[in-house]
């Protein structure tokens, strides 16, 4: 459905996407993780046809630069930072609805309502004057109401209150199974129930690409050894919480992991990546 | 729906949607309020000061008012249009508005030309309303209304506005920071201002440049072309202007120059706006 082949993108001689290879299939629900500067936002903007890049990019068999309207009709997008759009809430809904081929206005009102955002009440208010959470709810409602084939969300739940998060995740779970999702988030743990694939980026490359469902179902466990550098009190505490132990070598920790916990483990230790010298995992 | 009709329908749809959204947005913007206040207020102020009843170099009534209004437009209109237009694309880009808007199924052409068209309407309406107000006042006061001058002058203002809107959009797509866009806009305006007739006399006198070079520079400068063309409507001998204008008139004739003063800025506006669109369309959008 979506294929990126040998994609390169650089800004002022700084390589941001480096020979990137990626293929997404219908129904893939992906958590896109990686540190700041890993290339996540650049990848998203390339998929949306907003950046030019070297290499081959095919979205639904189309080129997002040359056939942008056809491609973008199939995509719902929620950006990381809600932009300071001057339009009023009502105008923004009308604007989005006017550009969409499918009638979506009633759906936007209904979805926003489920996310506890009353469009009618706020219709005359400029979008940029809404609170961060309200902006996010409206953008989510606009993206979901298109019934997109491909949903791209960059930190979608970052500004939502607990009730809003719950409503948002409820809506995510109601999406048709054939909806492909790319969700970039720093809190992948809360996305785990909705995803079936996890992709980690670093320095413009995909360094980890894991299909979740099959391995988790198999119930296997893994022998894990991790060599850390420096004092690293925080990483040591994290490893302790995973019941890892260290022997004579104070920097070498070892322990056992359930296959189902592999992703959660990766997510937790990813923040200490600079202190990790070596990581080995072997299936028992 | 066929893949051939979809882009066309998409363009029309998103063009109209963009124009409406941009006009609505501009009506709320502070710059538009200030702009309307200046250009509408100027006419009101000139009428209040009784300028239609004064006489300078043979001009009186509405002609006197219009000639004063022209001086004001030459001085303020280009720089106002430039500083408000150069932020259009680059401002949306910096604030991440463009990232969101261009994630919607909107054609790039519709976005760019829709913004430009809406800006033109927004910029031209207050000026046109001010002129209409002056004509209405003249009718109420039983003054002779110089219809041909009002008509030509409106066309010239539209042409001048288009020239600077095109230049502004070009700058807006060329740079990645609003500060750069504003700096470049002022530089363009100052350069054009430097090369109007009065300064050209100085250059001619001091450097003994060839007459053709001076005339060429004058003809390329839309400010000079507008100024000469506008004064020509009232003063067919151009006795009020400097030597460059006089030589231009001598070479092109009255009607020829009036046409030139409308068509050249219009062409310049199209050329720059087209270049801006090419840059916008081919580069990184955000």
Inter-chain CB proximity A68 and B105 less than 8 Å: yes
Read off the pLDDT of residues A71-105 as tens digits, 9 standing for 90 and up: 999 999 999 889 999 999 999 999 999 888 777 88
Smallest Cβ distance to B105: which of A50, A99, A139? A99
CB-based contact (8 Å) between B12 and chain A? Answer: no
Does the predicted interface ipTM exceed a cut of 0.90?
no
Model pLDDT, residue B242: 67
Least confident of A118-127, A203-212, B88-97: A203-212
Q: What's the pLDDT at B9?
A: 57
Q: If pLDDT is split at 50, 70 and 90, which confidence band does B4 have?
A: very low
Residue pair A29/A181 in contact (Cβ under 8 Å)? The answer is yes
Nearest CA to B31 out of B88, B70, B74, B92 is that of: B88
Per-position DSSP letters for chain A, written without gaps between them: -EEEEEEEEEETTEEEEEEEEEEE-TT-EEEEE--TTSSHHHHHHHHTT-S--EEEEEETTB-TTTTHHHHHTTEEEE-SS-----SBHHHHHHHHHHH-SS--HHHHHHHHHHTT--HHHHTTSBGGGS-HHHHHHHHHHHHHHT--SEEEEESTTTT--HHHHHHHHHHHHHS-TT-EEEEE-S-GGGTGGG-SEEEEEETTEEEEEEE-HHHHHHT-EEEEEEEE-S--HHHHHHHHHTT-EE-SSTTEEEEEEEGGGHHHHHHHHHTTGGGEEEEEEEE-
How near does any CA of chain B get to the CA of A132, in Å? 15
Give the residue numbers in A contacting B (CB under 8 Å), as ranges: 45, 48-52, 67-70, 72-73, 75, 77, 79, 81, 83-87, 91, 95-96, 98-101, 126, 139
Q: Which of B25, B106, B286 sits opposite A45 (nearest CB)?
A: B286
Smallest Cβ distance to A95: which of B21, B96, B286? Answer: B21
Q: Measured between CB atoms, does B202 come within 8 Å of chain A?
A: no
Chain A contact present for B24, CB below 8 A: yes
Tell whether the model's pLDDT for residue A64 goes beyond 90. yes
Q: Which residue did the predictor score with more confidence, B200 or B123?
A: B123
Q: Does B6 touch chain A (CB under 8 A)?
A: yes
pLDDT of residue B54: 63
Q: Is B107 on the interface with A (CB under 8 A)?
A: yes
Residue A213: its pLDDT value, please?
Answer: 65
Asked if the C-beta of B95 comes within 8 angstroms of chain A's C-beta atoms, the answer is: yes
* Cross-chain Cβ contact A49/B285 below 8 Å: yes
Closest-CA residue to B110 (of B282, B286, B281, B284): B281
**pLDDT for residue B270 is more than 90:** yes
The percent of residues in chain B predicted with pLDDT above 70, rounded, is 88
- Res. A12 pLDDT band, cuts 50 70 90: confident
Per-residue model confidence (pLDDT) at position A211 = 86
> What is the pLDDT, as a whole number, of residue B241?
63
Between A109-113, A277-281, B268-272, the lowest mean confidence (pLDDT) is in A277-281
Please report the pLDDT score of residue B23 as a whole number.
94
Mutate to test the interface with A, among B8, B104, B114, B283 (most CBs of A within 10 A): B104
pLDDT for A230: 81
Residue B8: pLDDT band with limits 50, 70, 90 = low
Lowest mean pLDDT among A41-45, A63-67, B134-138, B177-181: B134-138
Does residue A101 or residue A108 have the better pLDDT?
Answer: A108
Tell me what the mean pLDDT of segment B91-120 comes to: 95
Q: Give the confidence band of B42 by pLDDT, cuts at 50, 70, 90.
A: confident
Residue B52 has pLDDT above 70, yes or no: no
- The arithmetic mean of pLDDT across residues B69-83, rounded, is 87
Averaged pLDDT, A56-79: 94
CA A185 to chain centre: 5
Given an 8 Å threshold on Cβ–Cβ distance, is B96 in contact with A79? Answer: yes
The confidence score (pLDDT) of residue A7 equals 96
- Candidates A84, A99, A126; nearest CB to B104: A99
> What is the CB neighbour count within 10 angstroms for residue B168?
30
Q: Is the confidence at residue B198, as pLDDT, over 90? A: no
Mean pLDDT, range A7-33, rounded to an integer: 94
CATH (residue range A2-211): 3.40.50.300
Task: Give CA–CA dist B3/B6, Å, rounded.
Answer: 5
B1: pLDDT strictly greater than 50: no
Range scoring the smallest mean pLDDT among A169-183, B35-49, B233-247, B249-263: B233-247
Provide the pLDDT for residue B269.
98
Q: How far apart are CA B209 and CA B134, in angstroms?
A: 42
A234-248 mean pLDDT? 87
Q: Which of these ranges, A269-273, B51-55, B268-272, has the smallest mean pLDDT?
A: B51-55
State the average pLDDT over residues A265-276: 83
Q: Using CB atoms, which residue from B28, B108, B282 is nearest to A86?
A: B28
Average of per-residue pLDDT across B74-95: 92
Taking contacts as CB-CB distances below 8 angstroms, the residues of chain A near B95 are: 83-84
Cα angle A154-A158-A159, degrees, rounded to a multiple of 5 = 125
Q: Would you say residue B60 has pLDDT above 70? A: no
Among A48, A51, A91, select the one facing B103 at the smallest CB separation: A48
Summarize the confidence of residues B140-150 as an average pLDDT.
85
Counting the structural domains of chain B, the total is 1
CB pairs A-B closer than 8 Å: 82
Residues of chain B with pLDDT > 90, as a percent, come to 44
Of the listed ranges A66-70, B13-17, B22-26, B209-213, the one predicted with least confidence: B209-213
Q: Is the pLDDT of residue B66 over 90?
A: no
Q: What percent of chain A has pLDDT over 70?
A: 96
Q: Where are the domains of chain A?
A: 2-211, 214-283
Closest partner residue to A72 among B17, B24, B103, by Cβ?
B103
| Residue percentage of chain A with pLDDT more than 90 | 56
Quick one: average pLDDT of A261-284? 82
Class of domain A214-283: alpha beta
B178–chain A Cβ distance below 8 A for any pair: no
What pLDDT is recorded for position B82?
95
Domain that holds residue B210: 5-282
pLDDT at A216: 57
Q: How far apart are CA B13 and CA B248, in angstroms?
A: 45
- Best interface-test mutation with B: which of A53, A95, A148 has the largest number of B CBs within 10 A? A95
Q: Which residues of B touch A153 (CB under 8 A)?
A: none
Q: Please, what is the average pLDDT of chain B?
A: 86
B70/B279: higher pLDDT = B279
pLDDT, position B216: 83
- pLDDT above 60: residue A4: yes
Say whether pLDDT at B2 is over 50: no
Q: Does B95 contact A83 at a Cβ distance shorter than 8 Å?
A: yes
Number of other residues whose CB lies within 10 A of the CB of residue A219: 9
Q: For chain B, what is the HEC assignment?
A: CCCCHHHHHHHHHHHHHHHHHHHHHHHHCHHHHHHHHHHHHHHHHHHHCCHHHCCECCECHHHHHHHHHHHHHHHHHHHHHHHHHCHHHHHHHHCCHHHHHCCCCCCHHHHHHHHHHHHHHHHHHHHHHHHHHHHHHHHHCCCCCCHHHHHHHHHHHHHHHHHHHHHHHHHHHHCCCHHHHHHHHHHHHHHHHHCCHHHHHHHHHHHCCCHHHHHHHHHHCHHHHHHHHHHHHHCCCCCCCCHHHHHHHHHHCHHHHHHHHHHHHHHHHHHHHHHHHHHHHHCCCC
């Amino acid at each position: 459905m979506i294929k990126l082949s040998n994609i390169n993108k650089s800004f002022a001689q700084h390589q941001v996407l480096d020979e990137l290879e990626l293929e997404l299939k219908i129904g893939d629900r992906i958590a896109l993780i990686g540190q700041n500067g890993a290339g996540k936002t650049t990848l998203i903007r390339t998929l949306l046809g907003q950046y030019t890049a070297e290499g081959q990019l095919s979205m639904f068999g189309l080129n997002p630069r040359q056939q942008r309207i056809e491609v973008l009709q199939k995509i719902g997008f929620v950006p990381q930072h809600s932009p300071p759009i001057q339009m009023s809430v009502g105008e923004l809904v009308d604007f989005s609805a006017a550009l969409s081929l499918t009638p979506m206005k009633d759906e936007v009102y209904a979805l926003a309502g489920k996310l506890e955002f009353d469009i009618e009440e706020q219709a005359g208010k400029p979008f940029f004057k809404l609170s961060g959470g309200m902006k996010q709810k409206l953008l989510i409602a606009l993206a979901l109401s298109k019934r997109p084939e491909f949903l791209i969300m960059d930190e979608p739940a970052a500004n939502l209150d607990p009730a809003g998060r719950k409503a948002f995740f409820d809506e995510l779970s109601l999406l048709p199974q054939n909806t492909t999702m790319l969700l970039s988030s720093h809190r992948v743990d809360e996305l785990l129930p909705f995803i079936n694939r996890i992709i980690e980026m670093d320095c413009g490359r995909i360094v980890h690409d894991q299909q979740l469902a099959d391995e988790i179902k198999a119930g296997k466990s893994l022998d894990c050894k991790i060599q850390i550098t420096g004092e690293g009190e925080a990483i040591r505490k994290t490893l302790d919480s995973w019941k890892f132990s260290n022997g004579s070598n104070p920097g070498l920790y070892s322990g056992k992991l359930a296959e189902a916990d592999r992703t959660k483990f990766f997510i937790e230790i990813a923040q200490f990546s600079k202190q990790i010298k070596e990581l080995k995992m072997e299936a028992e | 729906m066929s893949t051939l009709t979809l882009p066309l329908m998409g363009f029309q749809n998103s063009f109209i949607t963009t124009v409406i959204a941009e006009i609505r947005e501009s009506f709320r913007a502070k710059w538009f309020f200030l702009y309307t206040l200046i250009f509408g207020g100027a006419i009101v102020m000139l009428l209040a000061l009784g300028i239609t009843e004064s006489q300078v170099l043979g001009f009186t009534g509405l002609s006197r008012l219009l000639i004063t209004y022209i001086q004001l437009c030459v001085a303020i209109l280009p720089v106002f249009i430039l500083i408000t237009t150069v932020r259009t694309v680059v401002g949306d880009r910096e604030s991440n508005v463009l990232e969101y808007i261009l994630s919607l199924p909107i054609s790039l052409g519709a976005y760019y030309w829709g913004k430009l068209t809406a800006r033109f309407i927004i910029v031209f309406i207050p000026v046109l309303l001010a002129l209409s107000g002056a004509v209405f006042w003249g009718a109420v006061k039983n003054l002779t209304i110089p219809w041909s001058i009002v008509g030509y002058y409106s066309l010239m203002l539209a042409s001048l506005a288009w020239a600077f809107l095109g230049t502004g959009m070009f700058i807006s797509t060329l740079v990645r920071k609003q500060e750069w866009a504003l700096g470049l806009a002022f530089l363009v305006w100052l350069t054009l201002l430097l090369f109007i007739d009065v300064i050209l006399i100085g250059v001619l006198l001091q450097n003994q440049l060839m007459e053709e070079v001076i005339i060429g520079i004058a003809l390329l400068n839309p400010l000079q072309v507008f100024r000469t063309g506008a004064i020509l409507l009232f003063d067919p001998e151009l006795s009020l202007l400097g030597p460059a204008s006089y030589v231009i008139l001598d070479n092109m004739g009255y009607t020829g120059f009036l046409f030139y003063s409308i068509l050249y800025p219009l062409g310049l506006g199209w050329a720059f706006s087209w270049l801006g669109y090419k840059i916008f369309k081919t580069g990184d959008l955000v």
